[in-house]
Amino acid sequence: MSEACLARGAARVVMVEPSTLMSARARELSRSDGRLRIEHVSVGRFLEGMMMMWESGDFSPDVVLCRQAVNYWFDTTSARHLAMIMRSGSVFAFNTFNRKPSEKPYVREYEIGGDGFVEVSHLAGDLVHHVQCREGCLPHLTTFLWISPEEFGEALEPHFDAEERRFGNASYWRCVRK
């Protein structure tokens, strides 16, 4: 996604990815394009740091994009922190599940930019266990709480005009900072 943003003329892109294994391609790109900065921290820690930069006037993104990873970090506090660093009219867009994952493991294969991916997800209690494999990388295993569309809406509503569009099991959210 970082590469696509740069190709579309973004002046500056910050990629937040805790796993160095998942960002090998971006590291190569960041060496050749000074507009890309990679932060290997959790999104929560990144937002805490950005709060300090925001308070000094050094940071305020126009667009924040998150492809499925929103389920790993989103909660009411992070929604508030994100809103605080964004100017009115800025956009936060993400996609996520709109139905609870199955208790039976679900396997999905797909390709992005010529790279093959395989994901396995399943629900155990309120926890989603998710494994993502990418060609040339070790598997990435995560566990996160299931967040319903209603819970996303409630956390976003105080700060954003949020619109959800559903396509099958996926929801695409466009949230404009109030």
Residues 141, 154, single domain; the answer is no
Domain count, the chain: 2
- Report how far residue 8's alpha carbon sits from residue 75's, in angstroms, rounded to the nearest whole number: 30
> Which CATH number goes with the domain that contains 106?
2.20.130.10
Structural domain boundaries, residue 167? 2-98+148-177
Residues 131, 49, single domain; the answer is no
Mean pLDDT by groups of 10 residues along the chain of 178 residues:
79 77 66 78 78 64 83 89 89 91 91 90 91 86 90 96 94 96
Q: Are strands 170-177 and 13-16 parallel, antiparallel or unpaired?
A: unpaired
Residues 94, 110, single domain; the answer is no
pLDDT of res. 58: 63
> Which CATH number goes with the domain that contains 78?
3.40.50.150
SS3 174: strand
pLDDT of res. 93: 93
Contact 177/83 with Cβ under 8 angstroms?
Answer: yes
pLDDT of res. 135: 81
pLDDT of res. 43: 80
pLDDT of res. 1: 73
The DSSP code for 50 is: H
